[in-house]
Amino acid sequence: MDWENTLKLARGYSFLARSIIAGKVTNKVLDLLAFLDYRLLMFLTMWHPDMESRKKLLRKRGVNISDKAWVDVGVWIEMTTPQSVIIEDYVKLAYGVTIYAHDAAVNSVADLPMRVTPTRLSYNCAVGTHSIIMPGVTVGRHSGVVPGSVVTHDVPDMTVVGGNPAQHLFTDEQLGLAWQEDMRQRPEFYFDHPNPGRAPSTPLDGLLTWRDEELPINDYTALRTGTPFDFILDAKAKKRQKKG
């Protein structure tokens, strides 16, 4: 028996079991606090450690968000008119994204009404870290917003924008082909990752040939997290080496 490998697996799965149990207890406690105190509900829509719970709390606030959306921690969706924010299937919102659907700036300093215009994040679009989506903006299907952008106008389908204010940078096709070419040149920097939040199909599917080319891309299990989970990955990698 390989005692070293067995010990690694025991430590890794022990850590996994503790994390799962603690996570379930934490989720129940935080859900109860959100139910009892609306202020905590607002806070936990951003910082609850469980993404499914964050989405559930966002719906409780009135946000129209899909079950299939991916929302990182720290995402702020406005509190005044959350029902005017629509987040469709396979949308990805990175850390620190802010989304507005109303404008009360003029209303707060002059006798003028507040303006509310629906803001829509369309199918399979992605919004990068610390970006701001302004009221009334529609981010198109399969489009992207690079980190740190301020989006003040609609983003067409299959388009990547960036900057303040955000401007057109390139199309999805240009990005996909450039990414693939870089994979050919520097495969050691890439890791094949079966992302569960990925849309089942995209307009890029017919352009991507890297799998057929059998490029020497790394497996994502080669990455390390710095936690005892790594022991499980190490043990499985060793097992694969023996079979090979």
The per-residue pLDDT for range 158-205, each reduced to its tens digit, is: 999 999 999 999 999 999 999 999 999 999 999 998 888 899 999 999
Residue 57 is part of which domain span? 37-213
| Confidence at residue 220, expressed as pLDDT on a 0 to 100 scale | 85
d(CA 111, CA 89): 39
Q: What is the DSSP string of 38-89?
A: HHHHHHHHHH-S-HHHHHHHHHHHT-EE-TT-EE-TT-EE-SSSGGGEEE-T
Overall number of domains in the chain:
1
| Confidence at residue 244, expressed as pLDDT on a 0 to 100 scale | 59
Say if 112 falls within a structural domain. Answer: yes
CATH number of the domain at 154, please. Answer: 2.160.10.10
Say if 149 falls within a structural domain. Answer: yes
Say if 230 falls within a structural domain. Answer: no
Say if 4 falls within a structural domain. Answer: no
Say if 26 falls within a structural domain. Answer: no
Instruction: Give the predicted TM-score (pTM) of the model.
Output: 0.88
Give residue-wise pLDDT tens across range 68-119.
999 999 999 999 999 999 999 999 999 999 999 999 988 888 999 999 999 9
d(CA 143, CA 156): 7
Q: In percent, how much of the chain has pLDDT > 90? A: 73
